Structure 1
């Protein structure tokens, strides 16, 4: 069932920054993973993953969670990332397995304010954020 949840994400490679959903607890959390190793060449072999990519992956995780808590996107709908407030705790390297965790702050219809974290190797926090997502027609 968890692998089927990836179908809720309209993004495809090279824009998809979530590989798999590993845990979902209704009304509580969604946890997903991303292995960034193959993406390094797309970013000029920089030493660290750009934080914007990690925030985008967290937002994609939020899109999946919001659909599970409300209802799936229709063919004519598109997810939008609204406001985001993030705190970067450290840089992430390309060889780290990235874990995204999302929890609800508030959900109304197909709009949500969510709290999230991006975790790397040794369970060290890379960044934390509060973000809003909604649907465009």
Structure 2
């Protein structure tokens, strides 16, 4: 078992992931175990552009964006797993999702804790298990897949 590593902030996240506002959905990595798991957070504020239409007067953070944030967390873990082996012309892409479940609404003022765990790799596809929690209560779960691919020239 690998030791737990200290987390990192948005500057490091932006060095790893290509996502930018308004689609950068991970604010900070709290900690990770290389090759095993990662704990990241997203602070949900009323300033999220999605709340303009989802829903006026009753803001709810969309479940699909919780899944995207989970996928971004798996990308961060995947990159850290292969940190010295990823070329400048490569990136991790979201390849699939199974067993997505939503258990509670996420609203402005919530801090979402994402816990992703590496499950296995098969033929270049990596499988992860993800959990999103707010105040220790389950908000969403999913099994996610990602793949390392060359960036088209």
Corresponding position: 1:50 with 2:53:
no
Normalized per residue, the structure richer in helix is: 1
Give the aligned partner of residue 8 of structure 2: 2
Where does 1:6-85 land on structure 2 (aligned, <5 Å)? 6=13, 7-44=15-52, 46=55, 47-71=59-83, 73-85=86-98
Change (3 A) 1:110 1:34: farther
Deviation at 1:36, TM superposition (A): 2.0
TM-score with structure 1 setting the length? 0.87
The answer to whether the 8 A contact 2:78-2:92 is kept is no
Change (3 A) 1:23 1:39: same
Corresponding position: 1:135 with 2:141:
no
TM-score with structure 2 setting the length? 0.78
Gaps of 5+ in 1: none
Point out the more displaced range, 17-26 or 74-83: 74-83
- What CA distance in whole angstroms lies between the structure 2 residues aligned with 1:62 and 1:112? 9
Give the aligned partner of residue 126 of structure 1: 139
Deviation at 1:114, TM superposition (A): 0.2
- What CA distance in whole angstroms lies between the structure 1 residues aligned with 2:123 and 2:78? 9
Give the aligned partner of residue 4 of structure 2: none
- What CA distance in whole angstroms lies between the structure 2 residues aligned with 1:97 and 1:118? 10
Q: CA RMSD in A?
A: 2.1
Deviation at 1:91, TM superposition (A): 1.4
Give the aligned partner of residue 125 of structure 2: 111
Gaps of 5+ in 2: 1-6
